[in-house]
Structure formats: C-alpha cells, structure tokens
Structure 1
Amino acid sequence: MTATDALVGACTFLWLGMVLAISFLEAPLKFRAPGVTLPIGLGIGRLVFRALNAVELLWAVAIVVAVVAGDPPAAAVPVAAGVAVGALAVQLVGVRPRLTRRSDAVLAGRTGPRSHAHLVYVALEVIKVVALIWLGVAALT
C-alpha cells in the first residue's frame, strides 16, 4: 500500500463516517426531539446539510487529486471515486436546489404536494455510501 492509497482510504472513511452520522442518524432523529417543529427542523437541516456538503466537497477534491496525482491506483479506485463524486454532484446541482425551494415554501407557510426530491436525495446517499465503502476497501487492499 502506498501513501496515496492510505490518504485516499483515510479521506474516504472520514467522508463515509460524516455521511452516515448526519444523513442516517442526525437527520431523522432531529424531528423526533421534543419541541422541534417542522420549521425548526428544516432550519437546522438546511444548516447542517450545507456544512456537510461543503466538507464533502473538500473530501471529494482531496480524493480526486490524490487519485490523479498519485501512483497508478487499482482499477476499482477511480471508478468508485467517480461514482461517489458523481452522486455528490447530482445531489448538489440537481436535488439540493429543489429541496431548498420546497423548504422555502414550507417555511413561508405555503402547502402543496409533497416533493419526491427528498427520496431522490436519500437514494443518492445510499449510492454514495456504497461507493465510499467500495472506494475505501479498494484503496486499502
């Protein structure tokens, strides 16, 4: 294992831990806390996910730079990295703007049909988690 492999593995598993902790633990639990209303939960979620996505971008850049600049990686490494980074890109460019518009509407007191954007975001989180596990294992073996 090279230093690049170790760096990619470390960045990958840190990114994975953050996604698991925020998306699959904090996000659903905040709405069950006593006194947390929908507007408060949405406000917290927007702040937390904005911060998470900013840090995810840093991990993604670090991984891409390490893969491109380092020793030739195992064939699975760039593919898994591409899937993880691609899922993040779709979330940020394609889904987050729709979620923001929907939460803006809810916070303004408007009602309307439920958005399926949240389900798309969660599906992309699952894809990203699988890709990050694949990437971390490929980089470290």
Structure 2
Amino acid sequence: MSTSAAVVTALTFVWLGMVFAISFLEAPLKFRAPGVTLPIGLGIGRLVFRGLNVAEVVWATAILVAVVLGSWPGVATPIAAGVAIATLAIQLVAVRPALTKRSDAVLAGHEGPRSSAHLVYVAFEVIKVAALIWLGAAVLVSAT
C-alpha cells in the first residue's frame, strides 16, 4: 500500500467513525438524558458539531492532498473523495447557517415553526457516510 493510500484509508475511517459517533449516536441521545432541555441540548450540539466540523475540514483537506498527490487506478477513489468533500462543503456553506439561525432563535426564546434544515443536514450526513464507505473501500480495493 502506498503512503497516499495509507493516509487516505486511515483518515477516511477516522472521519467515518467521528460522523457515526457524533451525528448518529451523541446528537440524538443527548436529548434523552434527564434534565437536558432543548436549549441546553442545542448549546451542547452547537459546540460538539463545531468541533466535528473543524476536524472534518482537517481530514477532508488531508484526504484531498493525498488523493491529488497519489496514483490511483481508475476513478473511484478521486470521485468518492470528491463526493465526501463536496457534501461536507454543502453542509457547512448551505445548511449549517440555517441550523445556526434556528438554534439562535430557540436559544433566544423564540420557538417558532420547526425548520427542515435539520432533516436536510441528516440527509447530507447519510450521503457523506456512504461516500466515506465508498472511498475507504475503493482505496482498499485499489491497494490489493
């Protein structure tokens, strides 16, 4: 396995694990804990997702560099990496601001109508997870 393939494999599966742990475990479970109100849960979620997104940008950047510098048979690895990175970019640029606006309103005491931005974010998380699984598998297959 080349250095680029090893880097992409490691970062891909770390990134995938972080998304699974935070988006699909921590996020829904925190609201089930005793005493966690919606404002407290949103406050915690904002901090946790801000940290996750910073880490994701670091992993995505490192993966992009490794993919650009590496040599890949076929196009599966570059395309899968592109899908994962593009999905993250869409989440950060298009969806996250709507979530922040909604959580700002709730934290200020203005409940208002529910936003569909959360469901859009979750849909992009599912796409990102699929792309990361595809990327990890593509690199492992190309390394054999």
Separation in structure 1 between the aligned mates of residue 63 and residue 119 of structure 2, nearest angstrom = 27
Contact 1:19 1:129 in 2 (8 A): yes
Contact 1:18 1:52 in 2 (8 A): yes
- Structure 1 runs not aligned, ≥5 long: none
Which range moves more in the overlay, 131-140 or 63-72?
Answer: 63-72
Separation in structure 1 between the aligned mates of residue 11 and residue 74 of structure 2, nearest angstrom = 17
Partner of 1:84: 84
TM-score, normalised with respect to structure 1 = 0.97
What value does the CA root-mean-square deviation take over the aligned residues?
0.8
Partner deviation per Cα, 1:84-133 (whole Å, 9 max, x = no partner): 00110000000000000000000001121110000000000000000000
Instruction: State the identity as a percent.
Output: 73
**Does the C-alpha gap of structure 1 residues 106 and 41 become closer, same or farther in structure 2, counting only changes over 3 Å?**
same
Which range moves more in the overlay, 108-117 or 122-131?
Answer: 108-117
Match runs of 1:7-46 below 5 Å: 7-46=7-46
TM-score, normalised with respect to structure 2 = 0.95
- Structure 2 runs not aligned, ≥5 long: none
Give the C-alpha shift of residue 6 in structure 1.
Answer: 1.3
Give the C-alpha shift of residue 74 in structure 1.
Answer: 3.6
Partner of 2:4: 4
**Does the C-alpha gap of structure 1 residues 73 and 8 become closer, same or farther in structure 2, counting only changes over 3 Å?**
farther
The amino acid across from 1:31 in the alignment is F
Separation in structure 2 between the aligned mates of residue 18 and residue 72 of structure 1, nearest angstrom = 26
What secondary structure sits across from 2:105 in the alignment? Answer: helix
Partner deviation per Cα, 1:49-72 (whole Å, 9 max, x = no partner): 000000000000000000001223
